[in-house]
Amino acid sequence: MFERVLTGIAMNRSTVGNPSEISPDSGSLVRRILTGMILFAAVALTCLVLYIAVVNPDGVLPRPFGASSTIDQTFSFHTVDSSPDDEETSLERILKAAAMEDGTVILTTLNEAWAAPGSIIDLFIDSFRVGDRTSWLLKHLVVVALDQEAYTRCLVIHTHCFALVTQGSNFTGEAYFMTSDYLEMMWRRIDFLRSVLEMGYHFIFTDADIMWFRNPFPHFYPDADFQIACDNFMGNPSDLSNRPNGGFNYVKSNKRTIEFYKFWYSSRETHPGYHDQDVLNMIKFDPFITQIGLKMMFLDTAYFGGFCEPSRDLNLVCTMHANCCYGLDSKLIDLRIMIEDWRKYVSSPPNMKASSLQFWRVPHNCSLSSFHPPPKKKQQEQND
């Protein structure tokens, strides 16, 4: 460009003087043009550097106008491009926004198979809305998405969504019971819940195939560190013979529960090939639980029922779990029946409610009389 400027001036010198000379005025003009262009370039470069430093301190050029950055910035937990500090900050922000005054959050996990419209997650959220004064609890619910499809769907239907991605794993499809993907997903969940406790938050963890019909807090034990629902409740909430179900538990954040979750997670190596619920049934008798002073309590199925042992009194039930049920299709059929039964109960006259003559029609497709694991190649998901 500079050469073209000089050539143009030289070609025009015949109009202002001797063709064999360049006048002093022409040389001065060239120097002024060159000096101005260099000065302009230096100022422009300085402004660009300052702009990037202020707008994006990481030194990355900003996205083009209109480009979406939500998923790229948020869907980064345990990915190559994110640091542990960024992950913790993102989770802390979401937990803080969702927490109750005492620091309690409600957590559930979601993958693509359960995130489709009309599937498990829609019934789960609907149960809060049709429940007895339970809709307010939704503002304290954090949906932990295990894949990008689940995260994208969560953003459409809920406020508090967190993307928890395990590098090298794919949890998008229906996880078949006791397969390697199923076990990894269950143990990833235990490790994640330990991190929530370490951040100082109490939590209720609930599987998404649990319907919430009443506020469970009045039925929790105030002095328990760790309390959990049961597949089978023996009548005594302190009896270690109760068979717990890892799909629903209420845990206080303290040194005892943090140590307990670390012990639970590490026990997967002591008992390889078992999922978290089976391992819990083994370690609940371990002397380590007594040593750390953990108070473990088991929740009555009259209030926290499931298909394994249904809560028969609709005047008492808080939650109902589609446990002891193989396959997404079977779960969906019975969960829809359960919602219908609840709606009928709510619309019944007071004298019918008081009589307790209304019962669940479930399990239906998940009939316990035919509760047998399917053949190994067709083992379906059981959300324990």
pLDDT in tens, 279-301: 999 999 999 999 999 999 999 99
**Residue 112: per-residue pLDDT:** 93
**Residue 319: per-residue pLDDT:** 98
**Domains of the chain and CATH, by start:** 71-378 (3.90.550.10)
CA atoms within 13 A on the CB side of 278: 13
**Residue pair 197/328 in contact by the 8 Å Cβ criterion:** no
Question: What span, in angstroms and rounded, lies between the C-alpha atoms of 220 and 224?
Answer: 8
Q: What is the mean pLDDT of residues 336-361?
A: 87
The answer for residues whose C-beta is within 8 angstroms of residue 31's C-beta and 6 or more apart is none
CA atoms within 13 A on the CB side of 46: 6
Question: What span, in angstroms and rounded, lies between the C-alpha atoms of 193 and 358?
Answer: 37
Residue type at 175 in one-letter notation: A
Neighbours of 79 (CB within 10 A): 13
**pLDDT(11) > 50:** no
CA torsion 332-336-341-343 (nearest 10°) is 150
Residue 371 pLDDT grade (very low, low, confident, very high; cuts 50, 70, 90):
very low
**Residue 383: per-residue pLDDT:** 43
**Residue pair 198/258 in contact by the 8 Å Cβ criterion:** yes
Rounded to 5°, angle at Cα 300 from 178 and 195: 55
pLDDT tens, position by position, 21-57? 444 455 565 566 666 677 676 666 655 545 444 434 4
CA atoms within 13 A on the CB side of 348: 19
Residues facing 214 on adjacent strands: 132
**Residue pair 161/145 in contact by the 8 Å Cβ criterion:** yes
**Residue pair 267/279 in contact by the 8 Å Cβ criterion:** yes
Provide, rounded to the nearest whole percent, the portion of the chain with pLDDT above 90: 59
Residue 275 pLDDT grade (very low, low, confident, very high; cuts 50, 70, 90):
confident
**Residue pair 278/337 in contact by the 8 Å Cβ criterion:** no
pLDDT tens, position by position, 169-225? 444 444 444 446 667 788 889 999 999 999 999 999 999 999 999 999 999 999 999
**Residue 181: per-residue pLDDT:** 62
Question: What span, in angstroms and rounded, lies between the C-alpha atoms of 312 and 19?
Answer: 110
| Two structure tokens written together for 184 | 């990894």
User: How are strands ordered across the β-sheet holding 141-145?
Assistant: 161-163, 141-145, 104-110, 202-206, 243-251, 226-232, 296-298
The answer for residues whose C-beta is within 8 angstroms of residue 333's C-beta and 6 or more apart is 364, 365
**Residue 69: per-residue pLDDT:** 27
**Residue 180: per-residue pLDDT:** 61
| Two structure tokens written together for 107 | 């957590």
Tally of residues, the chain? 384
